[in-house]
Structure 1
């Protein structure tokens, strides 16, 4: 996060939100609960789309539109986690448009054997994570989007089969180019229909 973050209240440092919540722990709790409920509706009825940039933004808007006015729009500020910066905000749309076009060119990973599917699925998941297109809610949006992608080509993805710590460690490893931990994680959570 930069010093000058238009997404936060300058007095509290809390993300500006539609609910007027000015205290970070309360916002985190409310955001978690509302996004969970919205994710349940996504499981029943995912938004239509072609797994492109606009479709990814639709997922974010669906999950966080009750909380943030900017839900579904790419961030306009640079952010980092720990010491790892994510993509510069000016390159988000271009990078994701290109990346997701490549995914569609690979027929959304349809007709791949399990090992190849896991490798390519993990690659695309990590690349979207490295870009981190939204100011908040990237992980939940990614998991919902990629769960739908997996289902679209015949796989059931149940991330609840692994701990949050394992998922976070896998994402951190992916940030430095080590895809094995996330590939192994996805091997645990993906089942063929």
Structure 2
């Protein structure tokens, strides 16, 4: 199924290429223009702003809460009827240390609030929290793709794996453009535009 898009593209490969090209450019602008510096860390409103900015030139639903149920592999994300309550609860979660921040990240992944682009926008959101709360960010180039995907699949039941994986990749280069851009590139590598993409139920 090809998502309705602003370019009226009907070919999945072409849409994936344009989505990556445009949203990577917008993600870089988030950093270069310091657009995240003045907004609060860890709030859903902030994630919405990130998602809207990255994808508004691609999808009409950018920044809007999804209106369909989604699954990935054998995992179903938060059902629509509980989604708003889940987001409200995430906004109230503590985030004063690394473990609490990753727990918040895991819960946001379970919520999966957008129709597309959740992983990419949420990883920027996570680094924004880490930067503001503990003076660290993740060097995503040090996070193995398969280890990450498996750890995230298991994180709703046991989050130890994802905590160990991300803790080992922390860096204090919080203002390093190279680290940030490597993270953007890795986000698309993790997503892969493969069978691991979300499916509408």
TM-score over 0.5 for the alignment? yes
Q: Which runs of 5+ in 1 are unaligned?
A: 1-12
1:23 aligns with 2:4: no
Contact 2:143 2:166 survives alignment (8 Å)? no
Alignment of 1:79-90 (within 5 A): 79-90=70-81
Contact 1:52 1:97 survives alignment (8 Å)? no
CA-CA distance at 1:145 after TM superposition = 0.5
User: Which whole-Å deviations, capped at 9, do the CAs of 1:159-180 have from their partners, x for residues lacking one?
Assistant: 12223222212211114x1212
- Residue in 2 aligned with 1:54? 45
Report which stretch shifted further, 66-75 or 93-102.
93-102
CA-CA distance at 1:138 after TM superposition = 0.5
- Residue in 1 aligned with 2:31? 43
Distance 1:41 1:189 in 2: 24
Alignment of 1:170-181 (within 5 A): 170-175=151-156, 177-181=157-161
Compute the RMSD of aligned alpha carbons: 1.6
Alignment of 1:1-193 (within 5 A): 13-44=1-32, 45-47=34-36, 48-50=38-40, 51-102=42-93, 106=94, 108-109=95-96, 112=97, 117=98, 119-153=99-133, 154-175=135-156, 177-192=157-172
CA-CA distance at 1:189 after TM superposition = 1.9
Contact 1:125 1:146 survives alignment (8 Å)? yes
Q: 1:35 to 1:165 in 2, by over 3 A?
A: farther
- Residue in 1 aligned with 2:180? none
Contact 1:147 1:157 survives alignment (8 Å)? yes
Q: Which runs of 5+ in 2 are unaligned?
A: 174-201
Contact 1:75 1:133 survives alignment (8 Å)? yes
More relative contact order in 1 or in 2 (CA 8 Å, sep 6+)?
A: 2
TM-score (norm: length of structure 2): 0.78
> How many pairs are equivalent?
169
Report which stretch shifted further, 136-145 or 180-189.
180-189
CA-CA distance at 1:192 after TM superposition = 3.6
CA-CA distance at 1:151 after TM superposition = 1.0
User: Which whole-Å deviations, capped at 9, do the CAs of 1:102-153 have from their partners, x for residues lacking one?
Assistant: 2xxx3x32xx4xxxx2x22221111100111001101001101011111112
TM-score (norm: length of structure 1): 0.81
Contact 1:46 1:148 survives alignment (8 Å)? no
